[in-house]
Each structure stands twice: as C-alpha cells, then as structure tokens.
A and B are shown apart, each in its own frame.
Chain A
Amino acid sequence: DTGVSQNPRHKITKRGQNVTFRCDPISEHNRLYWYRQTLGQGPEFLTYFQNEAQLEKSRLLSDRFSAERPKGSFSTLEIQRTEQGDSAMYLCASSSPTLNSGANVLTFGAGSRLTVL
C-alpha cells in the first residue's frame, strides 16, 4: 500500500461547472477525512466518514459541496456550480484509531488542486 491517493492532482474548470475529486485511502484505515486548504492557510476540516457512514458534515462549506463513500473504501468530493472562491487544495486523509494507540494519526494524500476560472 503506497498511502493515500488523490485524483486528479490538478483540475482547472470554468465557473459554474461541476467537479469531482476521488480519494483512495490506506486500505486498512476505516476513517476518511476531507479538508480544504487555501493559499497561505492551514487545512480546514470539511467532513469525515467512518466506514461508509458520514459522521460529520456540518462543516461542508455550502450545499454545493457533497461527499460520498459508498462502500467504505474510496470517497468522492463533489462541488457543484463552482465559484472562483472554491479555488483551493482539497486534501484527503485516512486513519485507523486502533493502529495508533489513541493518537489516531491522520495520513494525508498529496491533494487535488482546483482552479476555477
């Protein structure tokens, strides 16, 4: 297993288009997280899943944002009707609390950079 994989790495789109990002977590990790990082800032939590259940989604930025993890493995983050303010890096992370004796360390992917023109 080579870690958390995110695709695409870069996406350029026009305002108003829909975009979807995919995240493949580390296979033995049952928790998956989405974060957004704008330039010069720290990552900002969006949502997380335990297996296929989305346990926290109140931090999704608007109803244009949605995430799924249908089989408890990979996840997708969709942004509908993109706006220029959506331009950011979208980071995915996974973890397994039982593997880190309580620390629940998140392993991040390299991110998907979105540019909305």
Chain B
Amino acid sequence: AQKITQTQPGMFVQEKEAVTLDCTYDTSDQSYGLFWYKQPSSGEMIFLIYQGSYDEQNATEGRYSLNFQKARKSANLVISASQLGDSAMYFCAMREANAGNMLTFGGGTRLMVKP
C-alpha cells in the first residue's frame, strides 16, 4: 500500500483564491510527522509546514495551513490568497517514528495559478 497518496496530479486555481491540495497517509505508528514541500521549476525542495501526530491544533504558517484529520489519516494543505509564484509541484511527506529519519514522499500535485 502507498504510504502517502496525493490523488490530484494537477490543479488550477485563480489568483487570489484559496486552494486545497489533498494528502492521505498510511501508518500504524502512533508517533509520526507530516510535512509539505514546494518544488518550483528550479528544482529545490522548499519546506512549507509541519504537523506532528500529537499536535492538537492544525499547523499554520502564513498563507499555508494544514487541515489535519487524524482519524481519516488526511493532511491536506490549504493555500489562501494564491499568488502566481505559488505555481509549482507540491509534495506531502511523512516521517514515522519507527522508520528512523526517512521521509516518505507522495507523488506530488502540480499547482498552476491563473492570472
């Protein structure tokens, strides 16, 4: 089974609108961390936001928020007020406590922001 599933290969959003990128995960660990990274065309992976499995509140970082639904094993990324510079690949990733320090990535979602 896939550890991290991102079901949207590509998404369009109008500039200034909000968009949600989906991520579901599979783990039997109680302790794990969830990450979102952005990869623009230049290739560098840019860290956006982190959610620990024991965190009570959803993580937020500026225009990014993580909609963490533990029972459903989902960790969707919400980007508010989209900007043209948000156009990029977005990857969800998980670190499990019993998997050392390995990050497992999903297949990514390409976000395209329309002017």
**In the complex where A48-B102, A55-B100, A104-B101 touch, is A42 in contact with B107 (Cβ < 8 A)?**
yes
**In the complex where A42-B106, A42-B107, A103-B52 touch, is A108 in contact with B44 (Cβ < 8 A)?**
yes
Residues of A within 8 A of B107 (CB): 40-42
State the Cβ distance, B53 to closest chain A Cβ, in Å: 11
Q: B105, A104: Cβ atoms under 8 Å?
A: no
Q: A56, B108: Cβ atoms under 8 Å?
A: no
**In the complex where A43-B91, A103-B52, A108-B45 touch, is A56 in contact with B105 (Cβ < 8 A)?**
no
B81 interface contact, C-beta 8 A: no
B83 interface contact, C-beta 8 A: no
Complex alpha-carbon distance, A18 and B67, angstroms: 45
A28 interface contact, C-beta 8 A: no
Q: B43, A110: Cβ atoms under 8 Å?
A: yes
Residues of A within 8 A of B102 (CB): 45, 48, 56, 59
Q: B101, A31: Cβ atoms under 8 Å?
A: yes
Q: Which of chain A's residues has its CB closest to B59's CB?
A: A103
Question: Count of A residues near B, CB < 8 Å?
Answer: 27
**What DSSP secondary structure best describes chain B's contact surface?**
strand
Interface residues of B in 50-103 (CB under 8 A from A): 50, 52, 91, 93, 95, 100-103
Give per-residue flags for B31-44: 1 if the beta carbon is below 8 A from chain A beta carbons, else 0. 00101010000111
Q: Which of chain B's residues has its CB closest to A42's CB?
A: B105
State the Cβ distance, B100 to closest chain A Cβ, in Å: 5
Q: B50, A105: Cβ atoms under 8 Å?
A: yes
Q: B105, A111: Cβ atoms under 8 Å?
A: no
Q: A105, B43: Cβ atoms under 8 Å?
A: no
Q: Which of chain B's residues has its CB closest to A112's CB?
A: B43
A91 interface contact, C-beta 8 A: yes
A106 interface contact, C-beta 8 A: yes
B12 interface contact, C-beta 8 A: no
Q: B95, A104: Cβ atoms under 8 Å?
A: yes
Q: Which residues of B contact A (CB under 8 A)?
A: 4, 33, 35, 37, 42-47, 50, 52, 91, 93, 95, 100-108
